[in-house]
Structure 1
């Protein structure tokens, strides 16, 4: 389907690009927010990424899936925005010890609540870990696809995923206990 719309856009059909906006805007936003952690900035990045995508569509060679190519643009725009902002985006020291995770409490939550808690936890992780976890687990990309999107080595991806899972466990534990809000449950 992507190929058909790529051909339409390249043939001059400006409205055909709407297909890509509708199909990929949510994913692009989730990748951007994973990295920059700021809603307004993530929205700007998505707009910039789609503009770059539109302007560069003729250079898309089809060697990878269109979505992978677009994700790579979003990742590059996101990390570029971080370099421009040059501020600490709320990454924090996460100690892995002294945390008891009540798995039963997590499973009791309704599916939507669980999704919300996981999304909130991802926002508290370092950008590279949040991105790797989101692409691998939520977008269900393979290690090879994550490599194409991020440019990281397979070994680095596995290391980042390992660290990310450990940090996610810590953050989820604290969120479930209410420690992030000063509320003890």
Structure 2
């Protein structure tokens, strides 16, 4: 489906870009949040990434999936935003969060615990988990999006799973 809309955009139909915004906005925001750790900055990063992708769409050579190319732009924009901030991104102290378990809200609370734990992880670990597990990208796609080597990708994923497990155990 991406190919059809790419062809429309390249033919001059700028309204066709809405398809990409609607399709990729949620994951772009997830990736940005996993890196910058702030919802407002993440929204700005995602918006900047969409603008950059639209203006550079002619350079997309279709050797990879559009999503891989676009998510790489999101990753680059996110890390660029971190450099601009020139300060350590505040993280949520996972130990200060209290959770009340009820059967009706258990899945929502579990999801909230996971999101808070992901925000507490280093940017590269949170990014790796988001790309591999939430977006269900292959290791090769994660490598292409992030620019990491295969070995580095595997190590980061391993550390991320270990750190996430540790943070989740602390919130029980």
Tell me the TM-score normalized by structure 1.
Answer: 0.83
Q: Distance in 1 between matches of 2:105 and 2:44?
A: 33
Shift of 1:113: 2.6
The match for 1:74 is 74
Shift of 1:155: 0.5
1:144 to 124, 140, 146: 140
Q: Distance in 2 between matches of 1:117 and 1:48?
A: 29
1:77-121 C-alpha deviation (Å, 9 max, x unpaired): 000000111111135999xxxxxxxxxx8x996333322221111
Equivalent runs, 1:52-67 vs 2, <5 Å: 52-67=52-67
The match for 1:161 is 157
Q: For the structure 1 residues 90 and 170, does the alpha-carbon distance in structure 2 shift closer, same or farther, using more than 3 Å as the test?
A: farther
Q: For the structure 1 residues 27 and 92, does the alpha-carbon distance in structure 2 shift closer, same or farther, using more than 3 Å as the test?
A: closer
What SS does structure 2 have at the residue aligned with 1:90?
coil
Q: For the structure 1 residues 108 and 171, does the alpha-carbon distance in structure 2 shift closer, same or farther, using more than 3 Å as the test?
A: farther
Q: For the structure 1 residues 14 and 74, does the alpha-carbon distance in structure 2 shift closer, same or farther, using more than 3 Å as the test?
A: same
What SS does structure 1 have at the residue aligned with 2:171?
helix
Contact preservation (8 Å) 2:37, 2:91: no
Size of the aligned set, in residue pairs, is: 165
Report the RMSD for the aligned CA atoms in angstroms: 2.0
Bigger Rg, which one = 1
Q: For the structure 1 residues 92 and 27, does the alpha-carbon distance in structure 2 shift closer, same or farther, using more than 3 Å as the test?
A: closer
Structure 2, unmatched stretches of 5+, are 95-100
Structure 1, unmatched stretches of 5+, are 95-104, 177-185
The match for 1:37 is 37
